[in-house]
């Protein structure tokens, strides 16, 4: 992936989600301001409200000029800011403050917010692909099936962190009934039941599960990663493979690749999905298309994507 020559970033906007993470936003703003001032940068702040955030942020960006816009929050905040910057010249920076922080991990961004602040003055700029899923924006990963259910349950709960995710997954696993999917790319077709189906523009979930081992964020294609129903005795091996980049090693997993994909779910007019960590309902059939190199992102100088 070719990087552009870094340009000085002087005027910066930080988009904050007041409820993400467990860091005081007042202290965070003070720390960001001091850090940027010491290095000759100007920091401004924009707070999301949960109401018309995309429309309001786009309007703000039309009224003000910034050299970069940082998403200071979790996957939802990152996806919001990325969509607002789509197909533009202003790059996205990420200060990871959420439970998963999936895209930032795939980009090699430090998970310590203060370390991530180094992107304000030491960085590369890369153009990465994004996805359109039934007209919705996706920067990272989307799911149908088991993981989408767990994300929805997690989103509805009051507890955050990996422990809560594991607890919910354990509770739902025994009663989960896989759906049947029909997947058609420009290259191939597949039909059958699946425990989960992941639309993957990237490599790794925020939980560090590697669902798409040899993914590239700028190759103009994406993958549909399927885990077929499996016996309980196979679960430990599959889980081990998912944490060790061995997704393709199991007889219960497969990947399809393409630039556009149609997914049907026989008997269903709507299905539960999670897109960039946010649960939603999608009307079937589901149409997925790649947007090649449509988002500019800041990554560490040492990052190899």
Report the C-alpha dihedral over residues 286, 290, 298, 89, rounded to 10 degrees: -110
Task: Give the integer Cα–Cα distance in Å for 232 and 136.
Answer: 35
The pTM for the full model equals: 0.90
Percentage, residues of the chain above pLDDT 70: 92
pLDDT at residue 133, rounded to an integer:
98
Going from the N-terminus, what domains does the chain have, and what CATH number goes with each? 11-129+294-299 (3.40.50.10330), 136-292 (2.60.200.40)
Higher confidence at residue 181 or residue 26? 181
In this predicted model, what pLDDT tens digit does every residue of 94-140 receive, in sequence order?
999 887 888 999 999 999 988 999 999 889 999 999 999 999 999 99
pLDDT at residue 304, rounded to an integer:
72
In this predicted model, what pLDDT tens digit does every residue of 144-169 receive, in sequence order?
999 999 888 877 766 665 666 677 77
Task: Give the integer Cα–Cα distance in Å for 201 and 305.
Answer: 13
With 90 as the cut, is the pLDDT of residue 8 above it?
no
In this predicted model, what pLDDT tens digit does every residue of 183-204 receive, in sequence order?
999 999 999 999 999 999 999 9
pLDDT at residue 6, rounded to an integer:
57
pLDDT at residue 159, rounded to an integer:
63
pLDDT at residue 139, rounded to an integer:
94
The mean predicted confidence, pLDDT, of the chain is: 90
Percentage, residues of the chain above pLDDT 90: 74
In this predicted model, what pLDDT tens digit does every residue of 28-48 receive, in sequence order?
899 999 999 999 999 999 999
In this predicted model, what pLDDT tens digit does every residue of 245-280 receive, in sequence order?
999 999 999 999 999 999 999 999 999 999 998 999
């Amino acid at each position: 992936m070719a990087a552009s020559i870094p340009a000085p970033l002087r005027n910066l906007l930080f988009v904050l989600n007041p409820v993400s993470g467990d860091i005081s936003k007042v202290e965070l703003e003070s720390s960001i301001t001091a850090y940027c001032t010491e290095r000759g940068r100007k920091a401004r702040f924009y707070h999301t409200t949960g109401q018309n955030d995309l429309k309001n942020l786009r309007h703000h960006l039309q009224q003000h000029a910034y050299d970069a816009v940082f998403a200071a929050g979790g996957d939802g905040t990152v996806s919001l800011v990325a969509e607002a910057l789509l197909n533009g010249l202003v790059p996205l920076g990420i200060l990871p403050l959420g439970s998963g922080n999936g895209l930032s991990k795939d980009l090699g961004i430090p998970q310590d917010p203060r370390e991530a602040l180094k992107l304000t003055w030491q960085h590369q700029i890369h153009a990465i692909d994004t996805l359109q899923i039934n007209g919705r924006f996706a920067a990272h990963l989307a799911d149908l099936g088991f993981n989408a259910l767990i994300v929805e349950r997690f989103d509805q709960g009051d507890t955050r962190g990996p422990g809560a995710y594991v607890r919910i997954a354990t509770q739902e696993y025994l009663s989960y009934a896989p759906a049947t999917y029909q997947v058609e790319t420009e290259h191939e077709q597949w039909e059958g039941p699946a425990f989960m189906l992941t639309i993957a523009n990237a490599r790794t979930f925020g939980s560090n599960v590697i669902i798409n081992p040899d993914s590239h964020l700028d190759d103009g294609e994406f993958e549909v990663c399927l885990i077929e129903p499996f016996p309980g005795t196979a679960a430990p091996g599959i889980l081990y493979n998912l944490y060790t980049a061995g997704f393709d090693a199991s007889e219960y997993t497969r990947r399809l690749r393409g630039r556009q994909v149609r997914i049907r779910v026989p008997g269903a007019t709507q299905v539960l999905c999670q897109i960039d960590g946010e649960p939603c309902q999608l009307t079937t059939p589901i149409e997925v298309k790649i947007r090649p190199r449509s988002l500019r992102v800041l990554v560490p100088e040492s990052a190899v994507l």
